[in-house]
Structure 1
């Protein structure tokens, strides 16, 4: 919304562009507030500054907010306090989008019951939901695979999709992009993002930089296009939609200077994994990273997007590439309107937001440098995306991982076990040998890489050369190709490469996240049986961004991220235990050894294929029909009305109880019990898994009690519209380890009053019956990973009042606050281990009466023998708004309180 009556900085400009009347708010009007030139501000800070300048209203965004941000100081930015940020738009994917719609529908019920107009609960800014997380790789390796998978997807998700179709009609400013169109971040990059946005004003179109927040952490991919954006929790996104600013502490900006160019044979994936390794080790949580230097000018847009996509893996709020000539070229290549491309260039140059070779480097909080020519081919794994391994070092690294203890992220196999081999007995009587380290999943998947034509064409060319030499993929390898948009299929087809990928089993299985989100589907029964019966340590290689434990497949313990060409190469090898420098992939038809170097495509070959196949018309044609392209979506019945008609029998969609208790949590959490003691790097996958629902888990039992057969369980991600499933799935990851029950793996704890070892959900319910509050203790980087709001929602519904950790990942900390759960941080050097906490203590947490951001909070522990121990923590309520949200029991309760 434009506030034309309030322009305290005299920044509003009315002019024309190519005969069209336009309005913008000039950043140069703020130069007088600064002692140094405005153009020395990082580009990302200037875009934030334009946002507060344009939307200053004296209430949610004040003149003081503008002045403080205009004086951004690279050395001490946090001293400026919090920034209110209202993005131009919101993007959702369906795993997080469904619960967001459920929450909005529940809020409409609450408002209607209070006698108010339910349509007050309505997005005030554009919201695009892309349905991309639900397709699963059930069928693979056959031409009919995609049809089978899409049919199953609609069978499983009919209720969820009908809810989303209702939302499309019930809410203004809300669009749903149908299933099997593409992955949200790739669709955002190729179609939704405008780089410069506009709204109708009183005397012309008001122009401003495009910006976005999304309910998926990899929203940062759009930073490669010069669009400010990052992932937030679904709770924060809902508040944004309803007109609440996003508040966050003014960030430091780390400048990442790139020089040189990538070597022959080194891909953008290798660069992204290298950057992730460097920045995660350096420490950039809560900071912006901005890329600059002559090396950036050499990078194509898709390569930039690949690096930006991985910002959650390196821990930054975002990894930003300012707009330059390459951005304009990409807009043209993807079929954007030529006049709009000219407008982007004109407006951003007017505002000093367009980077050229002559632009002065901004002043950054600190600078890291990387010579691109030093980047080598690499993978990351076997359990974390930041654990990069040079391709040449993989043989030793994998052997070390097999032998290393699980505490060192290894697999703890004895020398004898490391040599174990077992047969895979196929139904036709044939047999294969499965060794430790066998690759059983090879997936070209995820927006990180399928958005990048260079690596996708590279995979196709490698497949072509392999087929021409007569190489084949072992039968025990489950292969899949899940493009991030339909454009990818078309340019692979135009380049004549799709058929070669198909020949190796890389058939298109659908358009969605698939294996990267954990929707890898079942392994063939003979393979699954060989693994589970013999406790084999096998591997997946995927071109994704996440490889946390238990995410890809419950039977696959080792998971490696790699470029699409390397995915094909490892599929052909069938094992991680290959030394590419001396071991052949196989033999050709003449019996001659074929090595990886023999079939690896050159950059020249890739560029020639791209020039032949990649045309703007492909993008224009595919996106022209984006909302009507899926006939199964078009056939879904449409529900009408402002109020959603809940179905009490549904196991997918249920009305959550978040607004039943609107009382303040008070200032004392008294005599709480400890639910779990976790170590370092507990991810949101550990806290709220997205993948398989185990048969005998609390969630599995619930579904069976409600008439759902195990074959129809679907995944936790698809059940996020039902709080009954999701609270039972909280802390239910099969690989999570709770030190209160040593020697166990999975979501178990000790119910202290009786000593029983129970699933965490069952123990939490016993505590709730006794009206006993709960506390969770954890180590460093608690909540790493996806922006998964159910990791906070489930924690809340289990009765957890506080989480005490050594450090928190940014999004999860915000989500905890957004649900009214108190995040507390140990003092430096302290941990639950150093304090000797065993798990059987009672915990009392006392908040100061004048609770302020970052306040000291006293925690008292009482042991069973009566011994009392006290220590001091820091409240990770980082802003005054965080404090307000906490005392209101969450963000959405705050919004409802304002409506009444």
Structure 2
């Protein structure tokens, strides 16, 4: 590597000498003391990766001379130190690597040319589902079911662990990827041998999950990327990015009594989403940091995707070292972190110079109030005292539709159409059911899922112990959960269970039904499992609008459970409280949760633990020995894992009968010849969508319906509906996944107004036909007709799901024309060879009078050189609408990827060309 600015220096730490690239030395030529913490990390990355091609002296100078107010317009190449994967997104990554090994051999190379070039670790945490709950054996039974469902996938991952260098797997039932990353995998400072010397440099990370940003809480710069971009990084390819703006968020004061880190992060999320930070870095600073434990910082960093930022980072300071020591890191590593941070000007204390920011916000944490967010977006914060009115306002939308359905049924009966199926008065808002021997009335607003789940909060001892203390206080007063509530506890790691047990609080949570169900994301990603049969029947009978309360980070429509229409994010203590109340049609700030064993009403304030009580429990129960013991053999796994059959060999032995793992078609017929970016002619619209179409809407997610294209495919191959598993678990099979793309039950194709479901109109030779989007896509493919998608604002918001792009490609979509794109999804589309195009400001499909029935031509692409293109939409009557769009290939590297047919094709050709 080059060193044009002569910044290589030596750092001695406890008798060990390290080479590093000195920012203070560069500071002799540039004013870098003013740079935000995150920009200094980016600058060091440029210095260390300078090669004269991807990173040049000009790139280094551009970062060193960063202007806070400047609009991003300079491209740099960023190379993370490592990659972290979870199994939903990790399996297709490993599938692609296995496919690339086959392909590189066909192109004349060797299998070992395809290997991760940087440390790559996969944590299996997304496959566990809450099939069993509310009983002591829930953890064991859910684990057994998990391994039965996923043994083929897990065998494949075990093959990958053996076949690939630099690749490790954390087996199931260990913890949630982001918490395992924070508690164990993160180095904060990396070391590696280069040119015979030990090199020290900052830990930076790409993760195939949006909430990788949780690691920002300990000063590690990292963010979520699509699987395609992660694979490229694993294979040694830097990621192109524009030098971002950095928004400073000043925190002052400290949280008041009764407020939690969850309340704080929901407040921060709302503020930043309102300000607008998409594509920007957010950096937290201020006197308030001294009152903010590392776990609280990690909670705030975790939610960066929800406030729209690339990252939400905190600097390294004394609290960082305290956490490293608490989590069992070695004293040698802690010494390196401190010495390196201080030597590089990355250390934060009261005397640190103030950085320059592109914009600043400020929050007095003393003003934070108990809050939830929902019912369908994490940035829609609702004060606890306003939750009842929020629920009722949103209920009116659903009851209006229900009343309409009820009227249609009544008309049907009156016209002699026979008896209605099920309840004839579907607008009554309740159903009488019997559950666990008790006859109860299930009403609109009933909380049918109360889940302590997700990396956001289950990493935080304050809210987890707070939930346990609230449960203890509630049980002491004779309160219990409402009988219709499905309760679950999904700790972020084994450490959490240990300190809950040590505190004696796990028993108290269990008294209210919160038994440990597994170590994984569970409810937050839709793995909530089935509701009790009686509850499901009641919801259907009354056409009820029921709710969930979960300590997660996402609550998009259709995500949590298909039968639950409204979902609220809340702190773990509030999850327990709503499980007791059993409804969201209540104001917990003024109405009683229930009646105690003494016959007196019990209010939330009566059982809420004090901040001091929680702090005392943390001090008594959380210690380094827990982390050391639980992570001593983190990659080993239990007997279930080690007894799984897995093949050997450098090339994977694909099973053509498998419905889980399949060699994807991306490299079929590939040669070393690079193509051109062609104009698109004669395209039809596959989907006409509005605003906020998320990757949950686009990507196959959740349960597979038996009458869906994917369900029919599986049944044709002998898979019974009981064994369908989820789309997420079948991400390694493109035949299943392409059939589930655009199939979400809540997606609205505007061809049909407000109707929900993954359908479209197929324009063949006759009259337009309504059919499943996949079926129409395959008919168009057989006809040789290319496809486009039209959409509104924030297209692709949500999880970093590469299948939202892969499925789009495999359905034959050549371009997506939207009013705006979410960062990761736009990048993923480019990586898969699907062209993102953006309407000019103020224009949209609606303003242009487009209804999706037109035939589209996209011209003037000039092999990727054009920044703008012309779209011509031709109607059946011969009239045309012409409009300009922005070509969203943002960097020269992206243009190059696109010419190759996608990022993976580019990387494969590069590797195959090496000796």
Q: How far apart in 2 are the matches of 1:707 and 1:495?
A: 49
Give the secondary-structure state (helix, strand or coil) at the position aligned to 1:219. Answer: helix
Tell me the distance in 1 between the aligned counterparts of 2:460 and 2:578.
20
Per the alignment, do residues 728 and 358 of structure 1 end up closer, same or farther by CA in structure 2, a change over 3 Å counting?
A: same
What whole-Å deviation, never above 9, does each CA across 1:320-360 have from its counterpart, x for those lacking one? 10111110111011111012111111111000001111111
Matched, 1:117 2:110: yes
Residue 553 of structure 2 is aligned with which of 539, 545, 548? 545
1:307-346 equivalent positions in 2, closer than 5 A: 307-346=300-339
Q: What is the 5 A alignment of 1:514-529?
A: 514-529=522-537
CA drift at 1:32: 4.4
> Are the equivalent residues in 2 in contact too, given 1:83–1:247 (CA < 8 A)?
yes
Matches of 2:756 and 2:430, distance apart in 1 = 25
Show the counterpart of 1:618: 626
CA distance in structure 2 between the aligned counterparts of 1:224 and 1:413, rounded to whole angstroms: 49
Task: Give the counterpart of 2:101 among 87, 95, 108.
Answer: 108
The verdict on how the C-alpha distance between 1:596 and 1:414 changes in structure 2, with shifts beyond 3 A counting, is farther
Structure 1: distance between partners of 2:174 and 2:404: 42
Determine which of 202, 215, 233 is the counterpart of 1:240.
233
* TM-score, normalised with respect to structure 2: 0.95
Aligned to 2:573: 565
Paired with 1:85 and 1:51, the residues of 2 have a C-alpha distance of 7
Quote the Cα distance in structure 1 between the aligned partners of 2:550 and 2:280.
Answer: 28
Q: What does 1:488-503 correspond to in 2, within 5 Å?
A: 488-503=496-511
Match of residue 223, structure 1, among 212, 216, 231: 216
For 1:36-435, what aligned pairs fall within 5 Å after superposition?
37-79=31-73, 81-404=74-397, 420-426=429-435, 429-435=437-443
Contact 1:656 1:722 in 2 (8 A): yes
Q: For 1:92 and 1:805, how far apart are their aligned partners in 2?
A: 29
Aligned twin of 1:536: 544
Q: Quick one: structure 1 residues 422 and 550, their matched pair in 2 at CA, closer, same or farther if it must change by over 3 Å?
A: same
1:698 alignment counterpart = 709
Q: Could you say what secondary structure the match of 1:646 adopts?
A: coil
> Take 1:710 and 1:100, find their aligned partners in 2: how far apart are those partners?
27
Q: Give the C-alpha shift of residue 148 in structure 1.
A: 0.4
The alpha-carbon distance between structure 1 residues 835 and 294, as it changes in their structure 2 partners (threshold 3 A), is same
Tell me how far 1:666 sits from its aligned partner.
3.3
How far the C-alpha of 1:406 sits from its partner, in A, is 10
Aligned 8 A contact 1:33 1:70 in 2: no
1:16 aligns with 2:12: yes
Match for residue 773 of structure 2 among 747, 760, 781: 760
Deviations 1:433-473 (A, max 9, x none): 10000000000000100000000000000000011111011
Question: Is 2:584 the counterpart of 1:576?
Answer: yes
* Offset from partner CA, 1:737-782 (integer Å, 9 cap, x none): 0001224211000112231100000000000000100000000000
Residues 789, 815 of structure 2: 8 Å contact kept: yes
2:748 to 718, 725, 737: 737
Matched residue count: 890
Q: Which stretch shows the higher mean deviation, 743-752 or 825-834? A: 743-752
For normalisation by structure 1, the TM-score amounts to 0.97
Q: Are residues 1:893 and 2:905 paired? A: yes
Task: Give unmatched runs, 5+ long, in structure 2.
Answer: 408-424
Change (3 A) 1:253 1:413: farther
Distance in 2 separating the partners of 1:445 and 1:24: 40
The residue matched to 1:740 in structure 2 has which SS? helix
Q: CA RMSD in A?
A: 1.7
What's the CA shift for 1:203? Answer: 4.4
Which ranges in structure 1 are unaligned for 5 or more consecutive residues?
A: none
1:15, CA displacement in angstroms? 4.1
Separation in structure 2 between the aligned mates of residue 496 and residue 641 of structure 1, nearest angstrom: 48
> Once the 2 structures are TM-superposed, how far is the Cα of residue 201 of structure 1 from its aligned partner?
3.0
Note if contact 2:792-2:820 (Cα within 8 Å) is conserved in structure 1.
yes
Rounded to whole Å, the distance in 2 between the matches of 1:488 and 1:411 is 46
- Looking at structure 1, the residues matched to 620 and 234 of structure 2 have their Cα atoms a distance apart, in angstroms, of 42
Does the 8 Å contact 1:857/1:874 carry over to 2?
yes
Deviation at 1:155, TM superposition (A): 0.4
* Residue pair 1:419, 1:435 contacting (<8 A) in 2 also: no
Query: Deviation of residue 77 (structure 1)?
Result: 4.8
Larger CA deviation: 549-558 vs 333-342: 333-342
Tell me which residue corresponds to 2:421: none
Shift of 1:115: 2.2
Q: Name the counterpart of 1:607.
A: 615
> What secondary structure, in the 3-state scheme, does the structure 2 residue paired with 1:844 have?
strand
SS in 2 for 1:40: coil
**In structure 2, what is the equivalent of residue 801 of structure 1?**
814
The whole-number CA distance in structure 2 between the counterparts of 1:424 and 1:250 is 58
Contact 1:335 1:620 in 2 (8 A): yes
1:612-691 to structure 2, matched below 5 A, reads 612-660=620-668, 662=670, 664=675, 666-691=677-702
Q: Distance in 2 between matches of 1:364 and 1:412?
A: 53
Q: State the Cα distance separating 1:52 from its structure 2 match.
A: 1.1
- Rounded Cα–Cα distance in structure 2 between residues aligned with 1:530 and 1:47: 55
| C-alpha distance in structure 2 between counterparts of 1:864 and 1:292, whole Å | 58
Query: Which is further off, 11-20 or 799-808?
Result: 11-20
